[in-house]
Structure 1
């Protein structure tokens, strides 16, 4: 048996085999033949062409066999590994969410947290002194913006507007779900309230127009706003209150409109009041009232509980303080009374002759008599015959019209005839009756307009109250004090009477507007 083995020395000396062209490459290199199907390569015997695998030339590609081996080895461990990765991701998400929530809670706590202040205590002397001069401070600062909230829920009433404490005037827009028939505009003095109802207004209130509408004002039948207005006017006085009259406690310190204020709760409000006005107490004696006062004694907010209304909050805006103009039903602008000049005295003396020359005028009547009687009327007035003929409607009596005749000192009426704006022409010949009537409050006003044309003139001392305008005409408002009260004559620069005013028993002012011109023949009525 032939022994092909070599001694170890011979194996050590064996030269390394090297690949040469024409020699079959080792199998480990996976270099196969490049014979193509359908084609027999021509090659020389003993020589084979080497084909290089794509994996050797592509550096980015791996060895497929190795990858398959690795993939096969990882198949068994893929499930646990994925579960571990999922648990890791859930843990990280939970930690992140916890960190975010902790940060949010920390920031919220730091922003809203305030150190515990001192507990409530009795009022100091300085705080009672600030309360005692609070109303004088309001009176001296004249005006302020108002936002009043009264009641709660469906009964809540909101009032927006202004108050002029120096002149005793409030001008408000009334809204909210509980406004009821008072929804609309309101103007008030400490003694008189007039409203301009607007049932179509939206429930949300808005600041009223600075120039109030000239018409539509009347005395309200519902007096639900009286306690609120009494509280507002009671916040001002022209002299300080007694310091010892304020009993209560200090509650807290806050910031309003960027100013530090003290919250003072008073159980017994001071009783001092202006000698010119006697406002109602701001709240029930049993219910404490809270005042937000700054260091200078300026009031910023009031909270009280009014009987029949509930909780009331009054917020003052001291930066919003326009000049207010009262409507004609409250007497118009106050003016500065003075004596008549020489020109004005001459014009005043010639007034009766000027009226007789004009002959007559078309008349329009507006008279807020009482909460149950608001009269409106129109017609004619003749200074030549000393007669007047008007159709008058009571807004609170289902719009029923009454015909009124003045002739000399006789006044007669007919009820329930038609509903047109002016009385019918010619006047009815029969049915006129004298005696007391619900429209008799207008008689002094019409009588004064007729007497102004008498040769004796207007009796009494006249003084100029102010200048004004009426229907684009400049007038002088001349006031004459009579036994029945003041009468105001609006006389233009030509000496013609344009309006006559007098106060009604409710404290409001009635107007009889006159437009000079031709009037129908007003024959004396026949009594029945």
Structure 2
């Protein structure tokens, strides 16, 4: 059979031998055009696809590619990738480098997790880490931030279970002052109200108070306050020290052993939960809930005796606090005296001599078991004072006769009269005199000497106040004394700062001294 001719009329393939290829394994030869590649036709024969596919998979495996799966019968070669060209050597190098990098990253993460893990920590493994420099600075500024904010509401739990004491109230870092309602199953005899400064702790027990504490009244009651030993009282002294110690005038030195634990929120405010020591506590593992502005929202740790304590602070609850009279009374705006006020103070000795004397009531919290209360008279004419003094706890009673620089006293039975009888007993008049001893003696001595010499030195008007429905100016003079003077210049109270940090007071009702008061004596 003649070969087909091309456009030039020559037979195709003329002058060149043509090749024959076997097809289908038969012996029929099929001519192949020279210089032209023929695409092998696919066949559905079961023998050939397996052979071709096997060769392809072996070839791709040698090039580092995943071998292609055999095409499903009737599959589209454009979709199954059977005819895609093999990947080049550059692609293989990229794939190997990516796998090696992933292995290194996984190993690094595993080592970091092992180093960060601390046995017994409740947080998920790997979350705790050392503090960043910015977090260290926030912890160092925590106490200064509190002082700048002045006040905050507090809710405190001391102890756990049936022995816990719960306290609700406020802390004023600027004064400083703590004012709390004490409750909970472990409150015991301290159930009631408490106020404290850095040097004194006062309680007002109320056994009938509800077991669950509530916010104390903003204006505290005026009666039944007594000093409490800071070392006792279900941790009241330790709580006082912790709260007041959370305020400071200077930034603390940066710590070196703190830990960041996790993110959290308190009343909708985002905080970081940190573990770091503070100078106010001996617990090196205090947990602090601290916001981005270095404001503390919660604290958990242990007191010095190991008792667990939790403090929650309400940064928006910031009322002005009113200390009880024994702690100085409500705050004012101290200023220098005006000319009129200075003249009234200078005229005080003459007014005292003119009025003659006053009925007096003394209140002197001298210690946890020594709150003294006295009732009697004071004569500026005879320069003497005569009182019955009763000690709260023991009921012990004495008659006390005071003169400038000297005091005499005799004991009386606990069931004796609460007011001094007249005339003055001869036993008291003949009792040996001694120098003023306790703060009540010093208070009486200051009241008697005021009729001789006007206060010396710079005086300060602390505030305006009211006493028995009368407007008075509270004027503080050198020596830790405060006179409560009405607009006419007569005194209605004299206070003296005691060594324990409380103010002892003598309430005065100026007027005629009852007959039978002690006469002047040369002894």
Change (3 A) 1:127 1:357: same
**Partner SS, residue 426 of structure 2:** coil
Work out the CA distance in 1 between the residues paired with 2:294 and 2:456: 50
Match of residue 244, structure 2, among 225, 233, 244:
233
- Which residue does the alignment assign to 2:427? 430
In the TM superposition, what is the alpha-carbon distance from 1:408 to its structure 2 partner?
4.8
Give the structure 1 partner of residue 64 of structure 2.
none
TM superposition shift of 1:361:
0.9
Evaluate the alpha carbon distance shift between residue 424 and residue 392 of structure 1 in structure 2; reply closer, same or farther with a 3 A threshold.
Answer: same
Alpha-carbon distance in structure 1 between the residues aligned to 2:433 and 2:187: 39
Superposition map of 1:6-155 within 5 A: 119-155=127-163
- Which one of the candidate residues 184, 194, 198 is aligned to 2:206? 198
In the alignment, which residue of structure 1 is the partner of 2:358? 361
TM-score (norm 1): 0.70
Match of 1:263 in 2: 273
Does the CA-based 8 Å contact 2:336-2:461 persist in structure 1?
yes
- Correspondence for 1:394: 391
Q: Separation in 2 of the partners of 1:507 and 1:464?
A: 20
Cα distance, 1:389–1:233 mapped onto 2, change above 3 Å? same
Residue aligning to 1:242: 253
Distance in 2, Cα, partners of 1:437 & 1:308: 42
Q: Once the 2 structures are TM-superposed, how far is the Cα of residue 435 of structure 1 from its aligned partner?
A: 5.3
**Alpha carbons of structure 1 residues 171 and 121: separation in structure 2 relative to 1, 3 Å:** same
Task: Tell me how far 1:202 sits from its aligned partner.
Answer: 2.5
Which of 288, 294, 298 pairs up with 2:295? 298
Structure 1 unpaired stretches of 5+: 1-114, 272-280
Size of the aligned set, in residue pairs, is: 395
Shift, 1:158, TM fit: 0.9
Cα offset, 1:336, TM superposition: 3.3
- CA distance in structure 2 between the partners assigned to 1:186 and 1:121 by the alignment: 40
CA shift in 2, pair 1:330/1:293, >3 Å: same
**1:405-484 maps to which residues of 2 (within 5 A)?**
405-417=401-413, 418-431=415-428, 433-434=431-432, 440-454=438-452, 456-481=453-478
Paired residue for 2:47?
none
Per-residue CA distance 1:353-400 (angstroms, 9 max, x = gap): 21222121110101111233211111111111112111111123x111
| Greater Rg by CA | 1
**Is residue 344 of structure 1 aligned with residue 341 of structure 2?**
yes
1:174–1:527 Cα change, 3 Å: farther
What residue in structure 1 maps to residue 37 of structure 2? none
- Structure 1, residues 197-216: CA drift from partner, whole Å, max 9, x if none? 22222222111000011222
Note if contact 1:172-1:185 (Cα within 8 Å) is conserved in structure 2: yes
What secondary structure sits across from 2:246 in the alignment? coil
C-alpha distance 517-221 of structure 1, shift in aligned 2 (>3 A): same
Structure 2 CA distance for aligned equivalents of residues 359 and 487 of structure 1: 21
- 1:39 maps to what in 2? none
CA RMSD of aligned residues (A): 2.4
| CA–CA separation in structure 2 for the residues paired with 1:372 and 1:221 | 9
Quickly say closer, same or farther: Cα 1:373–1:246, change in 2 above 3 A.
farther
Secondary structure of the 2:273 match is: strand
Change (3 A) 1:428 1:525: farther
The residue that corresponds to 2:109 in the other structure is none
Q: Tell me, yes or no, if structure 1 residue 320 matches structure 2 residue 317.
A: yes
In 1, Cα distance between equivalents of 2:196 and 2:403: 37
Q: Which residue of 2 aligns with 1:110?
A: none
SS of structure 2 residue aligned to 1:129: helix
User: In 2, are the aligned partners of 1:340 and 1:463 still within 8 Å (CA)?
Assistant: yes
| 2:498 is the alignment partner of 1:487 | no
Q: Name the SS of the counterpart of 1:354 in structure 2.
A: helix
1:168 equivalent to 2:176? Answer yes
Q: Distance in 2 between matches of 1:171 and 1:246?
A: 34
1:384 lines up with 2:381 in the alignment: yes
What residue is the counterpart of 1:85 in the other structure? none
Residues 520/395 of structure 1: CA separation in 2 closer, same or farther (3 Å cut): same
Aligned position for 1:182: 190
Deviation at 1:132, TM superposition (A): 1.3
